[in-house]
Structure 1
Amino acid sequence: MKVAVIRFSSLGDIILTTAVVEALYDNNIKASFITLDNFKILFEEDYRLEKVISVKKDKLKTIKDIKNFAKKLSDFDLILDLHSNLRSLLISIFSGSKTIRYDKKSIQRRLLTKPFFKKFVNLENFSVVDSYLDTLKALKINNLEKYKPKIIISNNDRPNTNIPENFIAIGTGARYKGKIYPYYKEVINLLKKEGFNIVILGSKEDIEKDKNIYKDVLDLRGKLSIRESLYVLSKAKLTISNDSAIAHMSRAVNTKVLMIYGATHPYFGFYPLKDEGDYLFANLPCQPCDLHGKKECKFKNYKCFEEIKPKLVVEKAFNLL
């Protein structure tokens, strides 16, 4: 059977879909993966896949573009649509291939951000990874709960920099302010007092959003490729991160992660699964206030982060070591 998996973006979401790639391969199916050009690097040397089909985002703007791209997928017996948006729906329709789409619980997740409606929403046990894996039930694949996100890396991905021993990785950044924990400087200082080295990972944009000055750490933000960052994460004792791609990258290289939630919510489904780590969440009545952490705090104080003291972060981290 020829199977294709579709997930165009974003980085963290694509990484989480690799649980499906792992499950398919474990059941003797080498799927093809369909994504945007800038994310195909995730699947270099990935023996689990038949091939990676990538496309530039600006080549999928019009219906004509989508139809032309869909023609490349007409020989697949099954498409697993793990993006479940209008674009991926049209591609699967125009391809003519049988398609199974994952249930992203979009309406329920949005209702969680509405104080009046949230009491009617039950997403306590919702996991995005589990929802991705549910698409495989039609293939009679059993024991789906054992599959976790996994990215294949090797020594070829080792960056040209000296990586310290006994280090904890820190992901200080996120796309929006509502996801960015503001007390990493204090957390890092506490961890250093306990004898840990610190490596900070992320993008150049993360530096621009961060007003802190960190001393005696290895700051690799904006200096590594995605695969080099994955390699570094694979060597960490633990990762501490916001609700962002760094957390999911850590999960995918089998390094436990402590996630810190602010404007978003674990019930959106992106929390670490069993044996992947844990999370901190203030559980205030105003949480979650936004699906992506984009909105400014209406109280202007980000109490969701204020409630999570640096000492608590370190104590929780030690529980995972």
Structure 2
Amino acid sequence: MGDVAMAVPVLRVFRAAYPDVKLTVLTRKFFAPIFADIDNLEVYHSDVEGKHKGIFGLTRLQNELQKLGITAVADLHNVLRSNVLKTLFSFKGIKVVQVDKGRSEKKALTRPVNKAFKQLKTTHQRYADVFKELGYPIDLNDHEFPKKQSLTSNIIELTQQSTKKWLGIAPFAQYESKTYPLEYMVEVIDALDKGDQFEIFLFGGGKKEADILNNIDSKYKNVTNIVGKLSFEEELKLIGNLDTMLSMDSGNAHLASMYGVPTITLWGVTHPFAGFMPFGQPIENAILPNLAKYDQIPTSIYGNKFPPGYEKVMDSIKPETVINTINALI
């Protein structure tokens, strides 16, 4: 989801620069609302678990796309499925440019010895480079964030139109190695709730996460768990109306930043140098572990690999640091 969200600012700039070019985004149906604020953009749904599954399904998908009159393809994913589509489009004489993920640079950044510890090109710029190679150069400095979206009746009922600052907290990530300890996050929530300045909305997904967040919700006056209470489209509208988002290095950070919401991120064994800093956010909004103690960070790009002794790197980020960063930003 984070990769999809990171494409949004790039596509906004593309649309503004080339208003007469037909733009079609191929993605899962669930992700379609992510692109809702971009005018004159069509979303084509891929059903990779159904009719577009496997090589025959992808062939069917390419034939469907061909009928749309597509003349060029920007592959911002560069995975097995999109490689198959690239081959099929190429057979039809249609130009395909794939994103350069910088795999060799990232390998140098994450290796344990002789680490090349430097800022790599952002993922947003890598996406922009794809369009440049297709003949559509864009400048991400020209990006403009959309206006805040209107709230639905469900959101209004949930938020009760609170006049406090709206703070979103997304406490989970795909891997434990980049997930802030729950007991520390509860300390953060406890302090912010007592301050009575914030309306706190908890974001997550799945039954296990929902149960955890419901338990936290039940203990605090200013905390609301939104899991299961809003559609994904409504979640995005709420996120776009937040004053601040606190997230791990995960999809929710990118969803918030694509609306221009000030976004504080907590990092574990990953690092912003890999190019996944949320769009438009200053490095000061990234809270990192003790890099002097854990000098092999980043140990991987996605947080799925780390050496022994790095299981609890996020324990070195104290709740007071998070609380102070939120208060200073607000």
What TM-score do the two structures reach when normalised by structure 2? 0.82
Q: CA deviation at 1:259?
A: 0.4
SS at 1:289 equivalent: coil
Residue range with higher mean Cα deviation, 124-133 or 146-155? 146-155
Q: CA deviation at 1:291?
A: 3.0
Residue range with higher mean Cα deviation, 258-267 or 289-298? 289-298
Distance verdict in 2 for CA 1:300–1:243, change over 3 Å:
closer
Q: Residues 63-74 of structure 1 correspond to what in structure 2 (within 5 A)?
A: 63-74=55-66
Q: 1:291 aligns with which of 293, 301, 316?
A: 301
Q: CA deviation at 1:299?
A: 1.7
- Measure, in 2, the Cα distance between the counterparts of 1:18 and 1:152: 15
Structure 2 residue aligned with 1:87? 81
Distance verdict in 2 for CA 1:150–1:80, change over 3 Å:
farther
Q: CA deviation at 1:161?
A: 2.9
Contact 1:18 1:149 in 2 (8 A): no
Q: CA deviation at 1:70?
A: 1.2
Structure 1 residue aligned with 2:189? 188
Q: Residues 124-273 of structure 1 correspond to what in structure 2 (within 5 A)?
A: 124-138=119-133, 139-147=135-143, 153-156=149-152, 159=155, 161-163=157-159, 164-165=162-163, 166-182=165-181, 183-194=184-195, 195-204=197-206, 205-207=208-210, 213-214=216-217, 215-216=219-220, 217-273=223-279
Structure 2: gaps spanning 5 or more residues? none
Residue range with higher mean Cα deviation, 138-147 or 308-317? 138-147
Paired residue type of 2:71: D
Structure 2 residue aligned with 1:21? 11
2:64 matches 1:55 = no
- Measure, in 1, the Cα distance between the counterparts of 2:234 and 2:77: 26
Paired residue type of 2:112: P
Paired residue type of 1:292: Y
Percent identity, aligned pairs only, is: 25
2:101 matches 1:98 = no
SS at 2:73 equivalent: strand
Residue range with higher mean Cα deviation, 152-161 or 65-74? 152-161
Q: CA deviation at 1:270?
A: 1.2
Paired residue type of 2:75: D
- Measure, in 1, the Cα distance between the counterparts of 2:74 and 2:233: 25
Structure 2 residue aligned with 1:115? 112
Q: CA deviation at 1:301?
A: 4.9
SS at 2:180 equivalent: coil
Structure 2 residue aligned with 1:309? 318
Contact 1:185 1:212 in 2 (8 A): no
Contact 1:158 1:232 in 2 (8 A): no
Q: CA deviation at 1:235?
A: 2.1
- Measure, in 1, the Cα distance between the counterparts of 2:153 and 2:130: 31
- Measure, in 1, the Cα distance between the counterparts of 2:267 and 2:110: 14
- Measure, in 2, the Cα distance between the counterparts of 1:56 and 1:223: 26
Paired residue type of 1:185: V
Distance verdict in 2 for CA 1:220–1:140, change over 3 Å:
closer
- Once superposed, what is the RMSD of the aligned Cα atoms? 2.8
Give the total of aligned pairs: 307
What TM-score do the two structures reach when normalised by structure 1? 0.84
Paired residue type of 1:187: V
Q: CA deviation at 1:279?
A: 0.7
Structure 1: gaps spanning 5 or more residues? 1-10
Distance verdict in 2 for CA 1:136–1:272, change over 3 Å:
same
Residue range with higher mean Cα deviation, 195-204 or 240-249? 195-204
- Measure, in 1, the Cα distance between the counterparts of 2:137 and 2:148: 22
